[in-house]
Amino acid sequence: MCGTDTSSLTDYIENTLRTEYAFVRTLSDRAIGKTELYRKNTGEFLVKITSYHRNDHVFRLLRGKALQSLPKIYEVASAQDALTVLEEYVDGNTLAEVLENGTLPTGRAVSIALDLCAALKELHTRNIIHRDLKPDNIIIRPDGHAVLIDFGVARLTSDKKRGDTMNLGTIGYAAPEQFGISQSDPTTDIYALGVVLNEMLLGVHPTIDMPKRRLGRIINRCVTTQISKRYPSVQDLEKALSSVSHQR
């Protein structure tokens, strides 16, 4: 599908979904938008996102690109009342579902964390902050690789604002700056990844307990409330995690 950013493109998408696809189920329905799953007559699945948050620019930067550990964005259509996005369906279980069966072995947890680093590198090099990295937004594919989904509250980095204007993100995974203390930046995602890694390893938030030795020091640096003391980039975090992986 392709076209210009007009309401006619939105109409075209709706007509195509109506004639060539069957509605399967609603994946999520929140104040900022709705995510629905469709199945094409030939069997392929497709995700339709209706967003009221209007971070159109984020989806446009990702449209049409095959990026590591991220779903492909097929089409983006802006209308007056909402943004419509067609996105690749990623098969698998959420990390939250996986963790219902207990914590993960260290090597497995680090491997997933490295996949998430790859996803964040793709976003951060395009000046995009995800801002809602959590187990529910991570799909573990049948081959074991992790994919980061849901760009609903993602935004472009900006040096012009002193603080986030809206409290977006998920409590427990959102960094302190996401609650208006200061402006979120790429280290905001690093904070969340540290929390997720700790949860994969121990099943609890880092404020309750952290692993010993090297991994504990890595997580502690990710989740410090002082932004300047976190890893300055996801590449630095990836390097630290890779050293742990190679030691095993």
Burial (0-12, 13-18, 19+ Cβ within 10 Å), 15 = exposed
What is the per-residue pLDDT for 160? 54
What is the per-residue pLDDT for 180? 62
**Nearest in space to 54 (alpha carbons), one of 34, 71, 72, 32:** 32
pLDDT digits (tens, 9 = 90+) for 182-219: 678 999 999 999 999 999 999 999 999 999 999 999 99
Q: Which pTM value belongs to this model?
A: 0.90
Catalytic residue positions?
A: 132
What is the per-residue pLDDT for 163? 47
Q: Return the number of other C-beta atoms located less than 10 Å from residue 98's C-beta.
A: 19
- Is residue 41 left, alpha or beta, with left meaning phi > 0 and alpha meaning psi from -120 to 50? alpha
* Cα–Cα distance for residue pair 116/31, rounded to 1 Å: 26
Distance of CA 122 to the CA centre of its chain: 11
24 touches 9 (CB < 8 A): no
* Cα–Cα distance for residue pair 246/181, rounded to 1 Å: 37
* Cα–Cα distance for residue pair 193/117, rounded to 1 Å: 8
**Nearest in space to 76 (alpha carbons), one of 12, 169, 25, 122:** 12
- Residues 6 or more apart from 86 whose CB is under 8 A from it? 1, 13, 46, 47, 48, 49, 73, 74, 75, 76
**Chain position carrying tokens 């009221």:** 52
In the predicted model, residues of the chain with pLDDT beneath 70 are: 1-7, 158-169, 179-182, 246-248
What is the per-residue pLDDT for 175? 83
What is the per-residue pLDDT for 3? 44
86 touches 37 (CB < 8 A): no
What is the per-residue pLDDT for 196? 98
